[in-house]
Amino acid sequence: MKTCLAYLAFDLGAESGRAVLGRLRNDRIELQEIYRFSNGPVRVGDSLYWDVLRLWNEMTRGLSLAVREVGHSLVSLGVDTWGVDFGLLDIHDRLIGNPFHYRDRRTEGMPDSVSKQIPLAKVYQQTGIQPMAINSLYQLLAMAIEDSPQLAAARTFLNMPDLLNFWFSGVKASEYTIATTTQCYCPSNQNWAWDLLRSTEIPPYIFGHIVPPGAELGKIRPGIAEESGSASLNIIAVASHDTQAAIAAIPVETEDYIYLSSGTWSLMGIEVEKPLITEKSRALGFSNEGGYGGKFCLLKNITGLWLLQECRREWASAGWDYTYEDLTHMAASAASFRSFIVPTDAVFLSPGKMTNRIQTYCRSTDQPIPEQPAEFVRCILESLALEYRHCTEQICELTGRTLPVIHVIGGGAKNELLNQFTANASGRRVISGPAEATALGNILVQSITSGELRSLAEARSLSSHSTETHEFTPCDTTLWDQAYERSLHWRN
């Protein structure tokens, strides 16, 4: 393998964005965070938006810093972020307004409202995606219902990584993994869900060409190259959905595992050769999202560490500036199995007043009400572990497989208490790491595109040599079994 090439990953997460350099040296991949910047949504009036122009400015600064660090050995860059959100371009390819953030409340109740015209079972049959109000489909339908002038003027729909790729390269394209999150894509046709879109008021002509993950979009725009000091840099449509980028970096050599991408959202599932779209998978709440290398991911979206992030933000506003390590340490010594929530309940989706929502939930289910931060955190972590068990049992039921290992990747992989709880609750071995899976996967895909790596298998082997993992074995399973049985009483 060559050792001189460098790749730049822009990884935009729920709390921050990062510019990360990756270089292959001595059969290992080395990551270096060059620049970090905030990535919170902006509220104006009653609406929640992406702060996209500031983010673009931060990204171009990150590019300049990367060029300063590695010079012309930087050969490409790729962008990843979460799914569903998008920007709309007009006839002149200019952005129409600020892109909405998926936690904006304008889509509340949209799936039920739309089901009166289009049965949700039909939507699922065409798309393989579980109806959620945050999906691009329902964001677009909300715009259509309110006769949005932005939608009327739109000529191009681009998910957020695709929009940023366009600004870097001048090429408009929809990357496959991020397109499949929209609920506007039909896996059986391997194209946009044209029949579904034509049955709505969403203009089908806004959806453009879909490219596979790892596609070369073109060279960086000359003006950006000049400003940043970069050479003729390639813009790569990596696995632009951050979950799929992370999955590409899982250090495994077997398929006998469940992955858990643990962060703001917990995405839990398995890789499959073809989508599983049945009435049972729909009833259990599973989606089929496209992955790298032609695979699909049968997965469930679970509200994850968002619960803890919102509580921490609330406490910081009150003057209690706890670190995540502080909170986890406090939770470890708190009373166990006192109260639980169901993280997937819609009441926990929107920002703000998370402690009040948890207390209200516990009060309505006749459980002890958390009061102190340690009690809230213990409730959240135990509830997540129980939710992971529930999802694990459903995956095994759908596939008929045993799947003895849960592999945790992403930021949540660093939470040892949650990892141990997950092992205890599920009765399975839990392997955690890498925590930097998303940026790592982004760079690995670029390395495959450049020819420095030959395949996904080689990339995952390199990941296993380059990253540290930890193993957690189940204990106290009888107590966790009892807690799980308690939690089932109010799950549905």
Instruction: Give the three-class secondary structure for 288.
Output: strand
Q: What are phi and psi of 269, to 5 degrees?
A: 180, -160
| Chain position carrying tokens 């089901």 | 115
Alpha-helical runs (H) found in 35-190: 52-70, 110-114, 120-127, 136-145, 149-153, 160-169, 176-179
SS3 3: coil
395 with 259: CB under 8 angstroms?
Answer: no
Residue closest to 341 by CA, chosen among 296, 378, 374, 309:
378
Strands 86-89 and 174-175: unpaired
Amino acid type, 394: Q
Per-residue CA distances from 229 to 62, 223, 333 (Å): 12, 10, 52
Active site residue 242: yes
Number of neighbours of residue 219 by Cβ within 10 angstroms: 18
Q: What Rg value do the Cα atoms of the chain yield, rounded?
A: 22
| Helices within 180-336 (DSSP H only) | 194-198, 222-228, 242-248, 279-283, 306-317, 324-332
Question: Helix H segments across 266-323?
Answer: 279-283, 306-317
What number of residues does the chain have? 492
**From 27, 242, 326, 476, active-site residue:** 242
Tell me the three state secondary structure of residue 353: coil
Instruction: Note the Cα 231 to chain centre separation in Å.
Output: 31
Count other Cβ atoms within 10 Å, centred on residue 489.
10
Q: Which residues are catalytic?
A: 242
